[in-house]
Structure 1
Amino acid sequence: MSDETVDRPNRFRAEAAAQGLPPEEVEEWIRTARPAVYLAEGGDGPLVARAGGDPLLPHGVPKPSDPFVASVDLAALPPGATGLPLPTDGHLLFFAGADVGGSEGRVPDAVMYVPAGTPTAPSPLDHAWRKPYRPRELRTVWHQLSAPMPESFALDRWGDLADDEQFELAEELGDAWAHVGGHRPGWALQIGGHPMSPQNDPVHYARDAGEAGDAAEGEGDDWLLLATWRYGDEVTELDSGVAHWVIRHRDLAARRFDRVHRYIEMA
């Protein structure tokens, strides 16, 4: 267990106690926090992810229908830091356009897993409506606990009948958590954890869609945030745009990336 998973909850308990927040809800907030890894540009560490440009695709695979976002070297992630049942090596590739609401929900080719040792080659995707995103190298990496958004916490804790006081308490818990978090540089890609969404919770969206389809697919288990990407300033059609990829725990463990749900939004 890293210092982050112990120190921040302890600092949060002290801050919450100073504000008179209910201990039971403080402990529930801590219980719902999940580990996450954050990747950013800069630094002189090993190359953890490559973003933009042309993807390296295996020979003969169908080309994804959306632009290439990023490729993550899974072996370069800190072991166990995401809390997700990811493969321990190979590359995970993410794809998304910049159309809010476009291809929303399940997108079979939004994520591709390329096992280690697979021959690959640069593969232009030839989207006439968009040039490739700006190439970036992500060499800065850190991991920390990720807490739910306050509104999501309230809905998960008290259901659709949560009242104004409960939503306000969730906001106070979120503020106390953020207050003891310390400074982190701006990140480009998040793996695991809870979503930080400018609009709505993509995990809730996927869960609701999954419940509607459970009769056909069988009962679902927990939905997880696989990744969130922050678009760069060059994507002018999105104001502080983000893309989220969400998947069921069992599908991730089985490497069924064709069952990923994707959501694109902006502030």
Structure 2
Amino acid sequence: MLPLPGHPRSEELAAVWAETHDDVASSGQLQLGGYADQEAVDTDPVGRAVWCAAQEAAAGRWGGGEPVSDDLADWVLLAEWNPWIDGLEGATVHWSIQRADLAARRFDRAFTTVFRNP
């Protein structure tokens, strides 16, 4: 993970990741925020998360009874991780979150999806 120019804690976050990532997983890349770096350009991981989150909330399996927006404009990419795990090459984990939840620091309401392009 490289520091982002202008981000007030970017260097600190990059240093912590560099120190701990071998204990977490292989040396895969971690990106915080921004836009997904997806190989399959016709796939938007945030759009996929919005659809999945809305479906799960409607079935009562996610969201804790709180509102879940199905509007893509209400969501952002929180993080993207390429774990580089043997046997799961091409897998990418995405965490997306509603803007209101991000502003309220409700990270328990982030929605996780995995994309794999073998």
Q: TM-score range by the shorter chain?
A: 0.5 to 0.7
In structure 2, distance between residues paired with 1:189 and 1:219: 26
TM-score (norm 1): 0.30
Q: 1:189 aligns with which of 23, 30, 33?
A: 30
Q: 1:217 to 1:236 in 2, by over 3 A?
A: same
Once the two structures are superposed, residues 70-105 of structure 1 have per-residue CA deviations (whole angstroms, 9 ceiling, x without a partner) of: xxxxxxxxxxxxxxxxxxxxxxxxxxxxxxxxxxxx
Gaps of 5+ in 2: 4-10
Counterpart in the other structure of 1:207? 50
State the SS of the aligned residue for 2:87: coil
- Report whether the alignment pairs 1:198 with 2:50: no
**Match for 1:52: what amino acid?**
H
Gaps of 5+ in 1: 1-38, 55-67, 69-132, 137-186
In structure 1, distance between residues paired with 2:68 and 2:2: 37
**Match for 1:258: what amino acid?**
D
Once the two structures are superposed, residues 25-50 of structure 1 have per-residue CA deviations (whole angstroms, 9 ceiling, x without a partner) of: xxxxxxxxxxxxxx349xxxx55331
**Match for 1:201: what amino acid?**
D
State the SS of the aligned residue for 2:79: strand
Identity value in percent? 33
Greater C-alpha Rg? 1
> Mapping of 1:41-52 within 5 angstroms?
46=11, 48-49=13-14, 50=17, 51-52=20-21
Equivalenced residue count is 95
Q: Which structure has more strand as a fraction of its residues?
A: 1
In structure 1, distance between residues paired with 2:68 and 2:21: 37
Q: Report the Cα offset of residue 196 of structure 1.
A: 2.6
> Mapping of 1:1-267 within 5 angstroms?
39-40=1-2, 46=11, 48-49=13-14, 50=17, 51-54=20-23, 68=24, 133-134=25-26, 188-199=29-40, 200-212=43-55, 213=57, 216-218=65-67, 220=69, 222-232=74-84, 235-267=85-117
